[in-house]
Amino acid sequence: MKAIVIHAPKDLRIEERDVEEPGPGQVQVKLAAGGICGSDLHYYNHGGFGTVKLKEPMILGHEVAGHITKLGDGVQGLAIGQLVAVSPSRPCYQCKYCREGMHNQCLNMRFYGSAMPFPHIQGAFREVLVADTTQCVVADGLTAGEAAMAEPLSVTLHATRRAGELLGKSVLVTGCGPIGLLSIICARRAGADLIVATDLTDFTLGMAKQLGADVTLNTAEAPDALEKYKADKGAFDVLYECSGAQRALVSAISVMRPGGTLMQLGMSGDMTLPMMQVTAKELSLKGTFRFHSEYKTAVSLMQKGLIDVKPLITHRVRLDDALSGFNLANDRAQAMKVQIAFA
């Protein structure tokens, strides 16, 4: 079978890999769709992010969906031919954090396409994938492309859960890539009143407006666009920082209301923050990392028509054109979510 393998920055190859057979409690899935994520782009562009660096070739990908082709021994509740969204989250269920219900912090996490541990955890961008039944959520009524979007949607659902009460709140979203747009959708579903979004391109901001932002601000054209929100110590109750850029976070801190919550979703390198502002405003700074239980909820919300992710899927490319897909995904002036069609 073919797989998409990263060797070094800008060294992406389509290589042959052996097809695996499902063991007890596992299923074999023929992939149909896989979304190129920001972390995939970090590996492609830079060989990693922050302290996480490639040390060996690694199959990329963790936003995937496909159809079941084989069942392992003892599998119940799943059937050959079913479309399933496949969660990349594979905690051990045995470590102290798993026992505390913090599965996303598992000490032995096997998250698809991650260079955090060594040997690296190989990813899901392969024509045939073997997955545990606990990873698979039946996606009846969805397209494969929609089902693959369950992963990034889960990220923003987890962040929204950690943000706390949003009913009637004012929300700022910095960075309008796929995670930023999904944050807008989730914040609105959670009851946010005012949503302001910032980014550097009219294309991304146009999509933010389409998906529910009340106000969009191009901070490339108008670096001081947030200035009016500084009055009376700030205007926003909650920040979704989705760019991973220090400048965006620092600018946002100046427009947060006292007692507000900063949710950091974007991941790049370490940041230097104006801690005196954080202290004086009594702001809460929260990280948010991956997800676990939210994955099934993401599929359910899409199936019920309560969240529509289709507008985010702007491009699809064939597996053999994966390299062009990655280059396209790098262009935020024209592409939002680029997906690879495996079948």
Domain with CATH 3.90.180.10 in the chain: 2-149+309-341
* One pLDDT digit (tens) per residue for the chain, 343 residues: 999 999 999 999 999 999 999 999 999 999 999 999 999 999 999 999 888 899 999 999 999 999 999 999 999 999 999 999 999 999 999 999 999 999 999 999 999 999 999 999 999 999 999 999 999 999 999 999 999 999 999 999 999 999 999 999 999 999 999 999 999 999 999 999 999 999 999 999 999 999 999 999 999 999 999 999 999 999 999 999 999 899 999 999 999 999 999 999 998 777 888 999 999 999 999 999 999 999 999 999 999 999 999 999 999 999 999 999 999 999 989 999 999 999 8
CATH superfamily for domain 156-287: NAD(P)-binding Rossmann-like Domain (3.40.50.720)
Backbone angles phi, psi at 312, to 5 degrees: -75, -25
pTM of the model: 0.95
CATH 3.40.50.300 fits 2-149+309-341, yes or no: no
Domain span(s) for CATH 3.40.50.720 in the chain: 156-287
